[in-house]
Every structure is written in structure tokens, then in C-alpha cells.
Amino acid sequence: MDFLDSFLIRAALAGLGVALAAAPLGCFVVWRRMAYFGEATAHASILGIALALSFSTSIFAGVLVVALLMGWTVSVLSGRGYAMDTLLGVIAHSALAIGLVAVSLLQGVRIDLNAYLFGDILAVSRLDLAIIWGGAVLVIALLGWRWNALLTATLNPDLAYAAGIDPRREQMVLTIALALVVAVAIKVVGVLLIAALLIIPAAAARPFANTPERMATLAAGIGAFSAISGLQLAFLYDTPTGPTIVCLAAACFALTSILSLVRGSNA
Amino acid sequence: MSLIRAKGLSVRHGKTTVLQNVTLDIAAGEIVTIVGPNGSGKSTLLRALIGAVDIHQGDISRKDGLRIGYVPQKLHIDPTLPITVERFLSLPCKVDPEAAKSALEQAGASTLMQRQMSDLSGGQFQRVLLARALLGKPQLLILDEATQGLDQPGSAAFYRQIEELRMSLGCAVLMVSHELHVVMAASDRVICLNGHVCCEGAPEVVASAPEYRALFGSGTQGALALYRHDHDHHHHAHDHKHEDA
């Protein structure tokens, strides 16, 4: 395991794991217009961190529980007079605010909130790495297993019902996967940048995809590229790692958008 | 043996009762059409039968392992989701490429295989939806105003195909249609719906029923309906009340 002794190798593997799990999930987030859901889950996880610190459990568990709880609350409340974005706005901001207040009430605990907001990929331990890859494999397996059902439910809930698929269950699968990704990714890229890593690679992949599978694969490639190259650039120029990774993803988005514009005007 | 049966079905949207005490039975191989004015619960009834609507009262029983092909009224595919016709046909179950090709040909859409779903016109879209529904070898085909967006010859061809399918596959067809002339010509049974079942039976019987006339006017027997696309305007304050409702 000498290989993993280098913190740079660990960081690269961590970034890769998060990117690979976030990309296909991010596609669903984009297709279902749930972009704000990722954001809300990420915000709510600050509350999870506060809870984890006050009960001295692992950050991962705290974040996972709060993210799942949020997803479940949204699923239950949606379609009862509130639009999805209103509901997510209420929950995201409340959870973030409650989390920040809770953190300030923690006696004698000094935490570096900055680390959770922006992540610290260079401090990834072997245990973190195991959690990240465990979560990533779980999410990819979950999405792979439910892929066709999720796609059908995303296209049209009634088509799903007619084929014997319950769209509400598929929504739950997505919520669980999203909670898992946020929980494992929070240490690497941090709360504020998770939503970006979900959505930007998927958006960047869109112009060059003609099937859902191709979009997910391309997004995974773009995510992985952003993670690895972002890490190298951050090391080279001594810039903050998480934001550098997201900058690279954004550059990919700009590039594919321009390419598709050029291609469009030629056609 | 009936394929699907609804008994005393009531559906509410919030506090509004959309369907009340609807009983319906579809037997293998028959073509049943639901007619009724806008807002009469036609689509809701179909959606209840596929399990997409919460039922307030009553129950729905299906034959074990019933395969349903469903063609919705409208289907919006978000342009952020790239999907070719070929891929769409394989949802949720993978289908044989040859079967997909012949289903598209049958639906008169053989050239569309590699096109993006979001680029299709309304008529092309309906044909692809029908092809997809047929690929599942349904025992019951449910069509919700499936000819919306098709021109006259297109919709005539569409119904001819339904008729042929019934012959070849032996599947039952339950549809909502606004094209009363087609309904009268092609259905075994017509159900006139307006929140409840107003009347039902063979097309000739329904066409002469007072309840039907109250909804659609008295001159709409058979072909006369051909030119009336929006019959909602001439059902004068639907005020007939049923003792049994």
C-alpha cells in the first residue's frame, strides 16, 4: 500500500471517486430539473456536520442522516401546494441557518467551517478514501441497477406507471444516491462545490451526447479530467484545490458550448 | 375473462371529485372508446387504470401479469435529456433491433430511428409512442387522444393500424377520442363519461341515448360529428342528473 502513502495520490483517487459517482447522478439532476436539490442537500449537510460534532459521531454519518431526512421531507411535502423550488428553498436555507447556529453553540469545539465549505482534498486519509470509494461504488451500482426504471420515470411518470414502475420509488432511489454522494464528497470538495461538480460536467457533456448513456459517460470523463487536472494545477500554482477543480469543469463547459455553437453555425 | 375491471371507482383532486362511482370492464380483444366533454375525467380514468392516480374509493383489479401499452395525450421530453428514437423504444425493456425497426415501419415512422425525440413533430412523436407501446406486445392498449397532432389521413391510418393490431395481436384497446366519427365506426363499445358513466353500450345505442345527446347535441349521430372538433361549445349546461350517480 506504499502507493497510497503519497497524499497527492490519495487526493487524486478521492477526486476521481467523487467525480465518477457525481457525473451520472448529475445527469439525472439536470434532466429532472432538480439542480437546486443538490444545492439544498449540500446546504443541509452543514446541519449534519453540527449534529455529528455535538454527538461526536462521524461527519459522514451526520451528513448522510440529514441529507436523507431532507430528501424524504421534500418527497413527502412536494405536490401539496408548494412548488419544488419553494420547498427546497425553505428547507435548504433553514437547514443551513440552523446548522450555523448549532455550530456556534457547540461549547469548546473549534471547527474550521471553511474546510467543510470548500473541502480539503489534500487532507484525505486512507479511511476517507475507503469511504469515498465505498460510497461511489454503491451509488454507481444503485444507478446501474435502476437505470432503465429511473430513465423511464424521468421521461414521464405515467409511462413508468404503465410499465409497472413506481416513479415515487425511483425518486427515493435518486434521493438516497444524492445523499450518499454529498456525504462522501463533503470532505473532498466541500458543501459549496458539490452542487457544481454534480451539474457542470453533466451540462458540459450535453452538446455531444445523443443518448442518456453517452451523456453520463462523457460527464464522468469530464468530471474525472477536472478532478485530476484541477489537483495538479492547484499544486503547481498553489491555488485552493476544490475551486480549481470546479474552474476546470467550468472551462470544459465553456469549451463544449463554444464547440457546439461553432458546429451549429457550420451545419 | 376481463383484462381490467374498475368497480365503484371514485377519484378526487384535492376536494374536487373528478370521477364518481365509475364501473368499467374491459374484455380481451374489444375496442372500447370513452367520449365526454373536456374536464369529464377521461384522462383521469385512464391514468387511474394504469395506476398513476390515487383512488379515493372503489378498486381496480387486473388480470395477473397484464401487459399494458400506454400512449399518453402529451409527452414533453426535456431538451436537456438527449435520447434517440432507437433508445426510447428500448425503455424500460431492451428490445430486439429488428423488432424495433419493424414496429417503426408499422407505425409509418421508419426513417426516424436515429432522430432525437425532442426534434420530432407532434405527429411523428405520436407514431413513435405507438410503436413503443406495441413493442411490449400489450394485451391492453390504452390510448389517450393518441391522434392529437396527426392530420386527417394520418389519424385515419392510425386507427386502421389499431384495427389491424387487434386482429393480429388480439389486444384490447381502450381509448379516449374526440373524433366521434371514428369512435362510431371503429368501436365495439362506447362509454359516455361526465364524471360518472352517463351511458354506455354499442355505438348506435349510445348515439341515440338521451344522455349522449344532452352532452353532444342531437345531430351528432355518426358522420355528422366529423366536422365538429370542439363539441364542448354545444353541450348546453350539462344539467341532466342521474338518480344512480
Q: Could you give the angle at the alpha carbon of A249 between the alpha carbons of A248 and A254, nearest 5°?
A: 95
Q: Are residues B87 and B130 in the same domain?
A: yes
Q: What are phi and psi of A118, to 5 degrees?
A: -115, -5
Name the pLDDT band for A267 (thresholds 50, 70, 90).
very low
Separation between Cα atoms, residue A227 and residue A11, nearest integer Å: 9
Per-residue pLDDT tens over the stretch B48-74: 999 888 889 899 998 888 889 898 887
**Is A158 touching B (CB cutoff 8 A)?**
yes
DSSP for A181-231 reads: HHHHHTTTT-HHHHHHHHHHHHHHHGGG-SSHHHHHHHHHHHHHHHHHHHH
Q: Are residues B96 and B61 in the same domain?
A: no
Separation between Cα atoms, residue B67 and residue A249, nearest integer Å: 44
**Which residue ranges of chain B lie beneath pLDDT 70?**
1, 217-245
Name the pLDDT band for A1 (thresholds 50, 70, 90).
low
C-alpha cell at B133: 407501446
Residue B208: per-residue pLDDT:
77
Residue B245: per-residue pLDDT:
35
Q: Are residues B105 and B153 in the same domain?
A: yes
Residue B230: per-residue pLDDT:
39
Contact B82 A151 (CB under 8 A): no
**Is A137 touching B (CB cutoff 8 A)?**
no
Task: Assess if residue B87 is contained within a domain.
Answer: yes
Closest C-alpha to B6, from B134, B191, B211: B191
Total domain count, chain A: 1
Q: How do B31-35 and B189-193 pair as beta strands?
A: parallel
- Domain CATH code at residue B87: 3.40.50.300
Closest C-alpha to B167, from B31, B46, B70, B64: B31
Closest C-alpha to B35, from B212, B185, B172, B229: B212
Q: Are residues B168 and B75 in the same domain?
A: yes
Q: Are residues B60 and B93 in the same domain?
A: no
- Rama region for A238: left / alpha / beta (φ>0; ψ in -120 to 50; rest): left
Of B70, B92, B116, nearest to A148 by CB-CB distance is B92
Identify the domain containing residue B50 by its residue range. Answer: 1-31+46-66
Q: Are residues B10 and B108 in the same domain?
A: no
Total domain count, chain B: 2
Separation between Cα atoms, residue A237 and residue A74, nearest integer Å: 41
Q: Are residues B4 and B60 in the same domain?
A: yes
Task: Assess if residue B120 is contained within a domain.
Answer: yes
Separation between Cα atoms, residue A57 and residue A65, nearest integer Å: 11
Q: Are residues B2 and B52 in the same domain?
A: yes
> Please, are residues B117 and B88 in contact by the beta-carbon 8 Å criterion?
yes
Separation between Cα atoms, residue B63 and residue B2, nearest integer Å: 7
- Domain CATH code at residue A127: 1.10.3470.10
Identify the domain containing residue A178 by its residue range. Answer: 2-266
Task: Assess if residue B36 is contained within a domain.
Answer: no
Predicted confidence (pLDDT) at residue A263 exceeds the cutoff of 70: yes
In Å, how far are A54, A58, A104 from A110, measured between CA atoms? 12, 16, 9
> Please, are residues A158 and B70 in contact by the beta-carbon 8 Å criterion?
yes
Per-residue pLDDT tens over the stretch A131-172: 999 999 999 999 999 999 999 999 988 899 988 899 889 988
Average pLDDT over residues A18-28: 92
Residues of A in contact with B113 (CB under 8 A): none
- Angstroms from A103 CA to nearest CA on chain B: 39
Q: What are phi and psi of B5, to 5 degrees?
A: -140, 125
**Residue environment code for A11-50, b if the CB has 16+ CB neighbours within 10 A, otherwise e:** bbbbbbbbbbbbbbbbbbbbbbebbbbbbbbbbbbbbbbb
Task: Assess if residue B195 is contained within a domain.
Answer: no
C-alpha neighbours within 13 Å on the C-beta side of residue A156? 17
Residues of B in contact with A155 (CB under 8 A): 75, 77, 81, 83, 88, 91
Contact B68 A162 (CB under 8 A): yes
Task: Assess if residue B211 is contained within a domain.
Answer: no
Task: Assess if residue B126 is contained within a domain.
Answer: yes
Per-residue pLDDT tens over the stretch A44-101: 888 888 888 878 888 888 888 988 888 888 878 876 777 777 888 888 888 888 888 8
**Residue environment code for B131-155, b if the CB has 16+ CB neighbours within 10 A, otherwise e:** bbbbbbebbbbbbbbbbebbeeeeb
Q: What is the largest CA-CA distance in chain B?
A: 55
Per-residue pLDDT tens over the stretch A234-262: 989 999 888 899 999 999 999 999 999 98
Task: Assess if residue B91 is contained within a domain.
Answer: yes
Q: Are residues B80 and B52 in the same domain?
A: no
Of A151, A161, A213, nearest to B50 by CB-CB distance is A161
**Is B69 touching A (CB cutoff 8 A)?**
yes
